[in-house]
Amino acid sequence: MTIGYLRREQTFAAAHHYKLPWLDEAEAARLFGPLSIHGHNYVLHVTIRGEISDDHGMVENLKTIKSVIVDRVIAELDRKFLNDDVAYFKDKSPTLENLAGFIWERLEPAYPNGALHEIRITEEPELYLDKKAGSDDMFLTRGYHFCAAHRLHQASLSDEENRALFGKCTNPSGHGHNYRVEVTVKGDVDARTGTICNISDIDKLVDEKVIDYLDHMHLNCDIPEFADMNPTAENIARVIWERLGPKPGGAALHRVRLHETDRNVADYYGE
């Protein structure tokens, strides 16, 4: 049996607000920002896992996957005001976490053999949530940007060896990147707030501990961690992990992903 994974993207637009009877307004504002009604263009990715059929070479017909998603999810959510129009949100916060719970509940019966593998919902360009089969955890990812200079240089090696390893990246004056860092936290959803953490606390922590610390710096010269450590993408991800601590915003840190360029990406899981 040969297993394949197939992903389909569908989009929907929906409105919501966080002026919720079960949350104090100050607490809601602290968690979600302004409480006014607003909308998002959501992007949903659904991944189906299954056997690659000997008969037709597919895990499942994409037309079928599309119609399952459209009938069970998109028709329920698109152009809706989640708080009032969707019964599921009468007593649940219309958060990404609860949207993922709703979408999973709607899709799972169509895939009784565990073929529903993963869903991702993106609410805005730097905010998305993943839910995966076999785990009660949800994974929330936020993206951030900073610019910094560095020189790839391993002090224990000769100039010759550094040049052989790092090429022009070891030029003595250094060079710069527009880095993008993704911070992923995981946890169960708090039934009252509908969240796994407070995103604004994570934003604040990342701003203080990472962006203010690294942005517009020369990593080798200005950042103590890199005085004796080569500032490769792997090591920068590791330093960011250590600076954030184990529970940013109250949820467990799962992954730090550093995009050095569009083509070079390093992941660090604290292992």
Active site residues: 169, 216, 260
21 phi/psi in degrees, rounded to 5: -60, -25
Q: Check if the beta carbon of residue 165 is closer than 8 Å to that of residue 159.
A: no
C-alpha 49/C-alpha 61 separation (Å) is 12
Distance CA(255)–CA(141), nearest Å, equals 9
Residue 132 β-bridge partners: 118
- Amino acid code (one letter) for 261: T
Whose CA is closest to 265, among 253, 254, 255?
Answer: 255
